[in-house]
Chain A
Amino acid sequence: MNKAEVQINIAQNIGGDAAVSTEDGNEIFGLIKKDFDAGQVVILDFSGIEILTTAFLNAALGQLYSAYSSEQLNARLKLVNVADQDKILFKKVVARAKEYFANKKQFDQSANQAIHGS
């Protein structure tokens, strides 16, 4: 691991093998954001995780699209030790987050125009 990289172990941070709740996802999101703000590349380690839900992944990873672009995330976030059978969940969550934030941006822009008339 070079100096600009920091590793976050999910199981250690949530204290168990089930990454299932929105709250735990939010906690991981906060850690990633803090490390991004400090200019670090983040390695997210899923070793020891047995159960994952989209509720957790929406909060931990999907939420990153509120602040970062695909290019930034691909460059600064690495996922390791993800079980093969869980990879499809990551694919679905990422695809859904991209749709959600693209629509949200459009919605916020129209709402802004409606309110401010600009």
Chain B
Amino acid sequence: MANEKVIYVAPQVMSKHDGYTHLMTLYESARQEPSDSIVFDFTYTTWFEANLSAVLGAICELLTNQGKHVVVGGCNYAIQDVLQRNRFLCEFGYEPKRDIHQTMVAYTRFNPNEGDRFLEYIKNKLLAKPDFPSHSPNLGKKIRESIFELYENARTHGLCEQIHACGQYFPRKDNIKRLDLSIVDMGQSIKYNVNNYLGSQMTGSEAIEWALKYGNTTKTGDISGGLGLDIMFQFIKLNQGKVQIISSDGYWEYRRGEVRMLDFDLSFPGTIVNIEFNLSDTHDYYLEGEISLDDIF
């Protein structure tokens, strides 16, 4: 196309603060570009973490909604192979490739009312693959529970048009079996919701920290809230996993007992939750003493 604008993706894009900064820069460059035709070009890219396809897919959705035509191109063999196996490139007319190593959780978009389809996705594509690493039934249940708390949170708080999900299994990351999953929505950011609700002026990372605390919620009306993110976070701490939340200009990360809060110069127009589960975990999660449901109210 004559007036198409080529925007180059960085040589390495990983699920780290600088990787997210780069993805925001890609969005801002494309958004501000006068041309209506954008190419995200991977010519110089040698490493792109597959789960970040959810972030790039969400960015493409937003740009498309702004009237831009977006394509992806210039991928070398290795990148193209990964992005065809995880089905991201199918969004741009490429054929899907069979995931022979069974390490991909396919890039998929969901409408907010497609809870049942999301459930099937988690059941069939995440935890039930024939070659998927063995994990205890309790761990599988807790993982699904956490993912649904996140999905419901994105749906009800973000008020988004679509939810983008993509995952990757790493058999030997830090000598532990790990599963990364990214869930992205381009709805209202946590910073907007929290500051709007409290009438405050918190930074993005402060607003995320507020939203993660037990009992804190921006919900009003007759349905209480403030538990979903806390439950996910408490599980990840025990599971020795990792959580990154990026929303507006805020970055919040929990990893190996440490919280990192940073702010970006740019702003992400939605929320990314990147969660890493430790599949080598053998904890038993529900032996917290006998709980009686008689007179529980």
Taking a contact as CB atoms under 8 Å apart, the answer to whether B296 and A96 are in contact is: no
CB-CB under 8 A from A101, the residues of chain B are: 224
Q: Kindly state whether residue A79 has any CB partner on chain B within 8 Å.
A: yes
A79, closest chain B residue (CB): B293
A85, closest chain B residue (CB): B286
Taking a contact as CB atoms under 8 Å apart, the answer to whether B297 and A22 are in contact is: no
Task: Tell me the count of chain B residues lying within 8 A, CB to CB, of chain A.
Answer: 30
Taking a contact as CB atoms under 8 Å apart, the answer to whether A88 and B223 are in contact is: no
CB distance from A3 to the nearest CB of B (A): 22
Complex Cα–Cα for A60 and B156 (A): 16
Known: A51-B145, A58-B224. A79 touches B152 (CB 8 A): no
Q: Mark A73-89, 1 if CB is under 8 A from B, else 0.
A: 11001010010110111
From B144, B149, B224, B291, contact of A88 by CB (8 A): B291
Known: A20-B115, A53-B145, A96-B224. A90 touches B152 (CB 8 A): no
CB-CB under 8 A from A25, the residues of chain B are: 223
CB-CB under 8 A from A20, the residues of chain B are: 115, 119, 148, 151-152
Known: A18-B119, A22-B156. A93 touches B227 (CB 8 A): yes
Taking a contact as CB atoms under 8 Å apart, the answer to whether A63 and B119 are in contact is: no
CB distance from B139 to the nearest CB of A (A): 11
Complex Cα–Cα for A92 and B293 (A): 12
Q: Kindly state whether residue A10 has any CB partner on chain B within 8 Å.
A: no
CB-CB under 8 A from A18, the residues of chain B are: 119, 148
Complex Cα–Cα for A99 and B226 (A): 11
CB-CB under 8 A from B215, the residues of chain A are: 96, 99-100
Considering the complex, which residues of chain A in the window 47-87 have a beta carbon less than 8 Å from any beta carbon of chain B? 50-55, 58-59, 62-66, 70, 73-74, 77, 79, 82, 84-85, 87
From B141, B228, B288, B297, contact of A51 by CB (8 A): B141
Taking a contact as CB atoms under 8 Å apart, the answer to whether B223 and A63 are in contact is: yes
Taking a contact as CB atoms under 8 Å apart, the answer to whether A74 and B297 are in contact is: yes
Complex Cα–Cα for A62 and B115 (A): 21
Q: Kindly state whether residue B94 has any CB partner on chain A within 8 Å.
A: no
Taking a contact as CB atoms under 8 Å apart, the answer to whether A73 and B297 are in contact is: yes
